[in-house]
């Protein structure tokens, strides 16, 4: 499989008129998740409606807009647009000026069970695809060999859970079923990115979207697979990486509505790409040390996410280095910091000084000292 260069963890840059809220689909006939996705730009929560008042609880509402029906949990409303969490885990922003238009249909919010989700995904992706389900996952995939598609993701979940169990970090129970879409070919994947997220990038082998809460990738064999290649998913670092993203958001280590600093989410995901030391990331980081490009960049990554746009390879390498180093040298602080970041209020925008302060609370103010310790560690 072509190695991933950039991971597309979703950073939504939607503004009130950018069109995300207008891309409606019928509740009963969803098309593949329609999102605004970019590798940078303004952080997702900055543009979301600010709640006028705190929702009273996880109720389920139903509303119609432009002749279409939407059912889900209201998260925030600013008098013009409503952020809604749908029953399959997708986050939608829907124009809504009159709240009378939204009716409460249940005092609770109960997402779809895997069986219902499976039915809906079958309808969404049509005859060209099969859908397989296991205890925790529902996977849309090309026809044939259904046992090979969903089981590997159960193993990815096990690896993730075992790691945190070993470090005595309690994970929340997932509210939503783990969803993966494996498209038939690179061509289909490119078309999907073009149609659904307006993205062209030959280096992207898969992505996790915080809006759809799904992983999307493609079958690299082009449907001509030898029997020995059937377990390709287990050899895919990209899938371990994207699975870690979805799991971190679903299990309470990140907050989908107030996302973490990018170095933290990417660093964590890269820690799960391999079962042992991530040699590929280590080699890349050492290359940047040799080129003397690392110095001073840690403060930048801690403050904002701009390095991911300007020098993505350096940003990813250093993010892995930071997450790996801090989790090894100071695991207690690392996991506390992670959970505290996830506990921020929904749709809360964090300024660069606030980001630095949150980090310093757990690791101290002397970033240069941490940087020097890290350089010695990776020599």
Positions that interact with Zn ion (CB under 5 A): 7, 9, 266, 269
Smallest separation (angstroms) from Zn ion to the CB of 21? 26
Taking CB positions, which residue lies at the least distance from Zn ion?
7
Closest CB to Zn ion among residues 39, 81: 39
Between strands 137-142 and 81-86, the pairing is: unpaired
Q: How far is the CB of 130 from Zn ion (least distance, A)?
A: 27
Which strands sit side by side in the sheet containing 178-183, from one edge to the other? 129-133, 137-142, 178-183, 214-218, 206-209
Nearest approach, Cβ of residue 206 and Zn ion (Å): 9
Q: What is the C-alpha to C-alpha distance for residues 268 and 262, in angstroms, rounded to an integer?
A: 10
Cβ closer to Zn ion: 111 or 206? 206
**Closest residue by Cα to residue 298 from 377, 356, 358:** 356
Please report how close the Cβ of residue 309 comes to Zn ion at its closest, in angstroms: 14
- What is the distance between the alpha carbons of residues 193 and 183, in angstroms, rounded to a whole number? 11
| Separation in Å, CA 8 to CA 209, 216, 241 | 7, 10, 11
The token pair that represents 88 in the structure block: 């399959």
CA distances from 13 to 42, 88, 173 (A): 5, 22, 29
Whichever of 266 and 341 has its CB closer to Zn ion, that residue is: 266
Name which of 36 and 124 has its Cβ closer to Zn ion. Answer: 36
Q: Phi and psi (nearest 5°) for 268? A: -65, -45
- Min separation Cβ 156 and Zn ion, Å: 14
Closer by beta carbon to Zn ion, 7 or else 199: 7
The nearer residue to Zn ion, 124 or 242, going by C-beta atoms, is: 242
What minimum distance in Å lies between the beta carbon of 33 and Zn ion?
Answer: 17
């Amino acid at each position: 499989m072509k190695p991933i260069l950039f991971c597309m963890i979703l950073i939504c840059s939607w503004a009130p008129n950018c069109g995300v809220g207008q891309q409606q689909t019928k509740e009963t006939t969803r098309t593949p998740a329609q999102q605004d996705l970019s590798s940078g730009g303004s952080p997702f929560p900055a543009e979301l409606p600010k709640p006028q008042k705190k929702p009273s609880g996880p109720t389920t509402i139903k509303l119609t807009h432009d002749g279409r029906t939407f059912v889900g949990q209201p998260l925030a409303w600013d008098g013009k647009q409503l952020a809604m969490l749908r029953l399959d885990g997708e986050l939608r922003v829907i124009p809504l000026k009159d709240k009378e238009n939204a009716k409460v249909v249940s005092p609770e919010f109960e997402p779809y069970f895997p069986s219902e989700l499976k039915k809906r995904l079958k309808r969404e992706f049509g005859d060209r695809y099969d859908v397989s389900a296991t205890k925790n996952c529902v996977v849309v995939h090309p026809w044939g060999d259904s046992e090979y598609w969903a089981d590997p993701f159960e193993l990815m979940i096990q690896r993730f859970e075992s790691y945190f169990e070993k470090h005595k970090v309690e994970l929340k129970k997932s509210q939503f079923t783990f969803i993966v879409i494996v498209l038939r070919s690179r061509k289909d994947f490119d078309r999907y990115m073009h149609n659904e997220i307006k993205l062209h990038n030959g280096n992207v082998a898969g992505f996790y979207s915080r809006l759809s809460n799904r992983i999307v990738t493609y079958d690299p064999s082009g449907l001509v697979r030898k029997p020995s290649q059937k377990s390709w998913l287990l050899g895919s670092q990209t899938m371990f990486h994207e699975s870690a993203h979805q799991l971190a958001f679903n299990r309470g280590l990140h907050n989908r509505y107030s996302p973490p600093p990018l170095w933290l989410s990417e660093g964590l995901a890269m820690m799960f790409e391999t079962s042992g030391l991530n040699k590929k990331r280590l080699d890349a980081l050492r290359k940047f040390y040799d080129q003397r490009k690392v110095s001073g960049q840690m403060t930048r990554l801690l403050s904002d996410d701009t390095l991911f746009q300007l020098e993505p390879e350096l940003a990813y390498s250093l993010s892995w280095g930071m997450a790996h180093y801090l989790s090894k040298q100071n695991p207690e602080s690392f996991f506390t910091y992670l959970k505290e970041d996830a506990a921020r209020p929904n749709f809360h925008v964090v300024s660069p000084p606030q980001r630095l302060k949150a980090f310093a609370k757990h690791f101290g103010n002397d970033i240069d000292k941490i940087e020097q310790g890290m350089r010695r560690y990776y020599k």
